[in-house]
Chains A and B, each alone.
Chain A
């Protein structure tokens, strides 16, 4: 087949997490390749967020491994990195877009500072450069730069989400984690933001892992889908194949449960 030698950006093997005796996720394995967007779908409590938190090193799993193709040293086991190395990865090469922008933003500093802060964390020091970069990223996410000195608390949910996205992209990450990125927004704002995310992911060639319970969002953004239930992956495949020809009883139920708008 084509490109057998291609190296995955992320390799998850038999990842398992228990909350005491309760299964968070169990035995999850997959490779994510550069430029690939993987959607994780399933109902509430299916283990999507647990999985995302373990993969993104926000939580240490009970078992299994997560390896990442680091820029400096190639494939490394995430939990074999030092805390400092892991934090560096999270601040530069990765982004995490939370459903609630308040979880990803500092509400007490301006939009511009929220973005500049991430640049400073990787060593940027010249004020003019930082400000220019911040403004540039804010305009790329279609945020009115007139308001870059205002506090996020004065913005609408959609605007806050744009700032959060810009904050994540400013360091040129290769991998973005998204947890219901348009979940709390009304439909018209959601459509605009989805479209923006789709464009950014395409243009920047980003890899992404997207957790959502919204199958339309998954169809629009992801190349590949993983369906989870009870902490386990019950089906995985090309997004349109899983949605149009689901094989597992639970995937069939999930797809047939969606109201046609």
Chain B
């Protein structure tokens, strides 16, 4: 199989991140130290390590949701290199539109917006025609077993599992070349978990570079090509 995005790569080098808590007398909590990781297009890497080791923090640093202290995070896309840690906010926003996706298990509900529109939302700034975007949203919602009568309702009143699946559908709406997954299958039933496994494999086979946290070992075994261990720092200190 020839991946569609063969020019995709994500490189994390010597990355360190600590949190300074000013309200607690300015104590500093080191979370990540000298992390190195490289992920190619068409590959899914699973982050492993005990709870609190900084796996989610690493994903958030890559997504530029968290600031990193030192090191570098670079994304290669179609021959262009993007330096995440030195990018202007508008460059990050541009990258997030088409190039880098992030799926957590939590849906941030926007008042009054229907599930269908929430899922199609990320396609709006990508020049995808509206009807095509809605079609893609319908396909994802039905694959994730959200009953059709809920599609036009705002998900605020949905069950936790339904909201989680709406969020996953939203995360997979755009075919991002780099996709970050923070426990996307936590608390899903077997059936829906298998759908997510399929979605992840499809993205990988289409050439995306994926990095994920999967506490469910079955899921991890089903999708990960490689494991990267994130060690907790506190014990080492």
State which of B7-15, B16-24, B227-235 sits at the interface with chain A. B16-24
B125 at the interface (CB under 8 A from A): yes
What string of 1s and 0s marks CB contacts (under 8 Å) between A229-241 and chain B?
Answer: 0000000011011
Task: Give the Cβ gap from B89 to chain A, nearest Cβ, in Å.
Answer: 4
Q: How far is the CB of B78 from chain A (nearest CB, A)?
A: 12
Please name all residues of chain B whose beta carbon is closer than 8 Å to the beta carbon of A195 when the two chains form the complex. Answer: 110-113
Counting residue pairs across A and B whose Cβ atoms lie within 8 Å, the total is: 61
Q: Which residues of B contact A1 (CB under 8 A)?
A: 82-83, 86-88, 91
Q: A2 to B21, alpha carbons, bound, how many Å?
A: 34
Given the contacts A2-B82, A237-B67, A241-B64, A220 and B22 also touching, CB distance less than 8 Å: no
A192 — which chain B residues lie within 8 A by C-beta?
111-112
**Pairwise interchain contact A252-B66, C-beta atoms closer than 8 A:** no
Q: Are A191 and B111 in contact (CB under 8 A)?
A: yes
In the complex, chain B residues whose CB is within 8 Å of the CB of A202: 124-125
B174 contacts partner chain A, Cβ-Cβ < 8 Å: no
- B96-126 vs A, Cβ < 8 Å mask (1 yes, 0 no): 0000000000000011110000000000110
Report, as a range, how many residues of chain B touch the other chain: 20 to 34
The CA-CA distance from A161 to B35 in the complex, in Å, is 50
> Is the beta-carbon distance between B65 and A245 smaller than 8 angstroms?
yes
Q: How many Å from the CB of A141 to the closest CB on chain B?
A: 15
Contacts of B83 in A (CB 8 A): 1
Q: Which residues of B contact A (CB under 8 A)?
A: 19-23, 60, 64-67, 80, 82-83, 86-94, 110-113, 124-125
Interface residue ranges, A against B (CB under 8 Å): 1-3, 33, 36, 191-192, 194-195, 202, 220, 223-224, 237-238, 240-241, 244-245, 247-249, 252-253, 256
